[in-house]
Structure 1
Amino acid sequence: MNIDRPVPRASSGSQEAFAPELLYAAFNQDYGCFAIGTQSGFRIFNSDPYKEKMRRGDPIEFKDGGIGIVALLYRSNYLAFVGGGRNPQFPPNKVMLWDDATSKIVAELEFRSDVLNVQLKRERIVVALRNKCIVCSLEAYPRPLHTFETSDNNRGALAISGGSQTSILAFPGRQKGHIQIVDLKSCVSTSANSKSSDALPGAAHRSRSLSRGSVSVDPSVPAASTVYPANINIIAAHVTAISALAVSADGSMVASASEKGTLIRIFDTVNGRLLHELRRGVDRADIYSIAFSPDNTRLCVSSDKGTVHIFNLEAKQNAAQPPAPVASGKSGNRHSNLKFMKDLLPKYFSSEWSFAHFRVANEVRCICGFGNERNSVIVLCADGTAQKYSFDSFRGNCVREWYRKFI
């Protein structure tokens, strides 16, 4: 979540609360911990139970410099940074790899335009630019492997499956509203003497002693191979531009929202079949995050309106009857009482609505992920707070369990 890029809402007459020092917040692959970027460094926290695990702002690398993007690699000592804020620590077109075991930058990747998003996997670095998605190797000498063209992706929409056994990558297609799905493990490497045109030959190779397992990059050396994807699945998901993406941990599903922000659609990543169409609301909203539960049975969605919606993705035959005017379906999600006339009425009346939702304190922008308990959600907010909510599986009642200030 880029905290310093608020989306103005003409309908709002009040000033949103925010923490001036906070630039960015993101969970790791399983929501077990989260990282924040600040005007002077970064911090890492355990999500639940909440606890600050690491704070960096004093080393020379972070003296008076802002971190605008932080990407975690599970709970390892490797992180990726992009500079940001009033006085960026690093150029906005560079991805810096940090080894916290040595408290040093061990590699850097430079691109021809600003980096909008970074995701890490055990063998890959994935970078979103305005009109490209670039996959690089995560090894002793990282090299660009493949460049995918995208439509205008000014939000940096990008997602990769969090499970250790899968590497399903999702990013916007070349056509507005489309999604491209690539299985990185199915890519075939062939000998070639080429490299990505977006990796600048001038990116510096840092000459320092590197510990075993650390990474370094020298883009002036041609890549030893070019990777061609065995299959790219194109999904026509929305009419307007993609604003948010999420891939389930096992890589079987991709969820997307458009810049309109009223519907979340979930597709099968193999055949592109529409599995769920979920309605967040009827008025426009900016979707800040979409998250699958680890077991693929739930989905949570957060928006700029300070609301979090929770949807069921499995059939629940014994779901309790929510109050009128909505009736529970087999999934436990809510439906209009006029759903039986869905063939005669507008599509709105056949939509699935969240079975549980809540509004965070101060009604600020936020991102969400699932907690340790199956019926819990962790929320990170632009005002510098972390909050935990629990919810009832049947009636959808939500209760705030705790509220912490992390900055």
Structure 2
Amino acid sequence: MATLSASPNPNPKPNFRSPTDQTDHDPESLPHMELHPSSDQEPTPNSNPNFHAVLPTPPEAIAPAAAAAPSLLHISFNQDHGCFAAGIDHGFRIYNCDPFREIFRRDFDRGGGIGVVEMLFRCNILALVGGGIDPQYPPNKVMIWDDHQSRCIGELSFRSEVRSVRLRRDRIVVVLEQKIFVYNFADLKLLHQIETIANPKGLCAVSQGAGSLVLVCPGLQKGQVRVEHYASKRTKFIMAHDSRIVCFALSQDGQLLATASSKGTLVRIFNTVDGSLLQEVRRGADRAEIYSLAFSSNAQWLAVSSDKGTVHVFSLKINGGSPGIDRSQSASDSVTSPHSSLSFIKGVLPKYFSSEWSVAQFRLVEGSQYIVAFGHQKNTVVILGIDGSFYRCQFDPVNGGEMTQLEYHNFLKPEAAF
């Protein structure tokens, strides 16, 4: 049985058990939850209409890989950007970024569309949601998949479709169109419910540092983001943009937040503790749809992808804005922002001319959808396309300019496997 290696071991086999005390929640808004035993015995089907008959999925029920390239329904990086997951029309696949290779795949023989695959670092636990024309699971359920057993060991059911899922070692966060549920991973007990504005993309970000949980989601107003600090039990609302929020990202420790609106021209970086605006960078002059934002591990760089076919890397100059973040590189090691030569006339020319522009760029096919993250090697960026493209590029932190392409793969082609 091919599995993800747990390194470090992020609680690879949580002891799932039924929550016993949820009487304080409104029963009308409480999602139905059904747990299946995590032993090697197959669960016994019962009369509960929420029971999904395809569970379990023993190894012999897994079909061979399809000969033709599959349709891609979902791509996402894991929490440290070292791996990525692809949901396809008959299963899912997990890949390593550097070196690039397919780690494992699961192909289902009955339909099998997977619309969401959320990894938990590199351990054997994943969250799956059905998707596509012929979904493997109902799109209103989150299935907890244990790849050691090659089957689902639990599920969460809702009254509407699941838009996205976020995992931490201690929490499961489920995002619906206008509501977010936060669960304890150890026993799946519901801890918190959040109301949001319409959120069809399932926008949500959670911190992944060893410290306490910081969660960011849309607020109840256009252009507003909500920041939940669970350690201090504080909620912070930030009016980030005048237009609708379409994308945001958190730094690993949850102290920095980058946001983009439907205009797609400016990206703003905020301090999540006090909501202050720390920096503003410009992607371009014309409108664009921002697909993804990503901080580097030390929060020194920010990457942005959009439908304009260009990935931008910006230098972040907010050392004093977020205490505790290690930015080991000195200012002399990084490129000077292109706006600095105009600083002497700042305030005279329109804001467009004094904006901070990206220091490095990589050109892709315009109109196609890409997501981006920073690689584990210094000054590298990994780019994933909805067309199955995988790019690994390197940027020059001193001189900036066009990035250098280090490698390219099409991860959907059969020959890319193993």
Alignment TM class, shorter chain as reference? 0.7 to 0.9
- How far did residue 262 of structure 1 move? 1.0
TM-score (norm 2): 0.76
Relative distance call for 1:319 and 1:346 in structure 2 (3 A) is: farther
Matched, 1:341 2:345: yes
For 2:404 and 2:97, the matched residues in 1 are separated by 17
1:121 to 168, 172, 180: 168
Partner amino acid, structure 1, of 2:272: T
**2:300 aligned residue:** 297
What value does the CA root-mean-square deviation take over the aligned residues? Answer: 1.8
**Percent identity of paired positions between Structure 1 and Structure 2:** 48
**2:82 aligned residue:** 32
**1:359 aligned residue:** 363
Matched, 1:285 2:335: no
For 2:274 and 2:366, the matched residues in 1 are separated by 41
Partner amino acid, structure 1, of 2:106: R
- How far did residue 32 of structure 1 move? 0.5
Of 336-345 and 352-361, deviating more is 336-345
- How far did residue 80 of structure 1 move? 0.6
For 1:136 and 1:184, the matched residues in 2 are separated by 13
CA contact (8 A) 2:310 2:366 kept: no
1:68-91 superposed Cα distances (whole Å, 9 cap, x missing partner): 111111111111111111111112
2:94 to 26, 40, 44: 44
* Number of equivalent positions: 332
Partner amino acid, structure 2, of 1:165: G
TM-score (norm 1): 0.78
1:343-401 superposed Cα distances (whole Å, 9 cap, x missing partner): 23332222111100111257621001111212100010111011100011112131100
Matched, 1:175 2:221: yes
Matched, 1:370 2:374: yes
SS at match of 1:352: coil
1:265 to 264, 268, 272: 268
Matched, 1:131 2:178: yes
- How far did residue 150 of structure 1 move? 1.1
**1:90 aligned residue:** 137
SS at match of 1:133: strand
2:110 to 63, 83, 86: 63
The 5-angstrom pairing of residues 195-274 of structure 1 reads 230-274=233-277
For 2:138 and 2:220, the matched residues in 1 are separated by 27
1:75 to 96, 114, 122: 122
- How far did residue 48 of structure 1 move? 0.8
For 1:176 and 1:82, the matched residues in 2 are separated by 28
For 2:210 and 2:143, the matched residues in 1 are separated by 23
**1:306 aligned residue:** 309
CA contact (8 A) 2:315 2:337 kept: yes
**1:108 aligned residue:** 155
**2:210 aligned residue:** 164
Matched, 1:405 2:410: yes
For 2:396 and 2:255, the matched residues in 1 are separated by 26
For 1:162 and 1:363, the matched residues in 2 are separated by 31
- How far did residue 111 of structure 1 move? 1.5
1:95-114 superposed Cα distances (whole Å, 9 cap, x missing partner): 11111111111111112221
CA contact (8 A) 1:336 1:349 kept: no
Gaps of 5+ in 1: 1-18, 187-229, 321-330
